[in-house]
Amino acid sequence: MSLEDGDLDMRVRFGLIAYGRLGDILKLRMRIRELIERDCQDLKIVYHTITADKIWIRKEVGDREQG
């Protein structure tokens, strides 16, 4: 994968679904928050949840500029 000038400034979304023990999930959440505070101040967490229910990913078709 080759990057061109400005590629790293492009706004994108990142999704992650993890499955495991609640204790491990809470550790992961804490480490992600610490990483953002330390190294990624411009990064915003838009949504997160912890659930025992199944999580489904849904892709919407439409305007890519929508948040």
Tell me whether residue 11 is in a domain. no
CB atoms within 10 A of CB 42: 5
H-type helices in 5-66, by residue range?
22-39
Six token digits for residue 54: 């199944």
Residue 12 lies in a domain: no
Query: Quick check: 37 pLDDT over 70?
Result: yes
Average pLDDT over residues 20-27: 96
25 occurs within a structural domain:
yes
Structure tokens at 17: 């679904």
Taking residues 41-61, what's their average pLDDT? 86
**Would 43 be classed as within a structural domain?**
yes
pLDDT mean over 37-44: 91
User: How many domains in the chain?
Assistant: 1
Nearest to 14 by CA among 49, 53, 60, 47: 47
Closest CA to 27 of 50, 2, 3, 52: 50
Instruction: Give the structural domain span for 36.
Output: 17-48
Q: Give me the mean pLDDT over the 22-37 stretch.
A: 94
Domain-located, residue 5: no
In this structure, is residue 40 part of a structural domain? yes
